[in-house]
Amino acid sequence: MQVKYLKPILVTSALVGLSQWSGLSLAQSADQLYKRGLAATCANCHGTDGKGVVDAGMPLINNLTSEQMLAKLKAYKSGALEGTIMPQLAKGYSDEQLITIANQLGKKQ
């Protein structure tokens, strides 16, 4: 297991610990885990949290706002935008999941 895959687990256990300490419900951290888990599927190619390696041949996606990212993902899904990988990948998610992913990974302004 590579170190980068440990990060979400560490973050999750930190969240669980924090939520117990602060009295937040466990349901909230499960929701966070689900959202982070969805976004983590993109990390293999685009890097953790979209912070990919510059000039490594993969588009960097951490410069996109959530709105821009969602627009691209929907365009890949509908076929309006062509690509090698993303059209197939985007079709695998519901619109709701794409919104969650775009909110999770998009640049916060």
User: Does 72 sit near ligand HEC (CB under 6 A)?
Assistant: yes
What does the radius of gyration of the chain's CA atoms come to, in whole angstroms? 15
User: Does 8 sit near ligand HEC (CB under 6 A)?
Assistant: no
User: Does 86 sit near ligand HEC (CB under 6 A)?
Assistant: yes
Compute CA 43 distance to the chain's CA centroid, rounded to the nearest angstrom. 7
User: Does 45 sit near ligand HEC (CB under 6 A)?
Assistant: yes
How far is 48 from 44, CA to CA, in rounded Å? Answer: 8
Q: How far is the CB of 29 from ligand HEC (least distance, A)?
A: 22
Report in angstroms the alpha-carbon separations of 38 from 13, 35, 55, 61, 104.
Answer: 17, 5, 25, 15, 9
The structure tokens listed for 10 are: 């560490």
Task: Give 30 or 58: the residue with its C-beta nearer to ligand HEC.
Answer: 58
User: Does 101 sit near ligand HEC (CB under 6 A)?
Assistant: yes
Tell me if 109 sits within 8 A of 72, measured CB to CB: no
Q: Which of 59, 62, 66, 74 binds ligand HEC (CB under 6 A)?
A: 59
Contacts with ligand HEC by CB under 6 A lie at 41-42, 44-46, 58-59, 61, 64, 69, 72-73, 83-86, 89, 101, 105
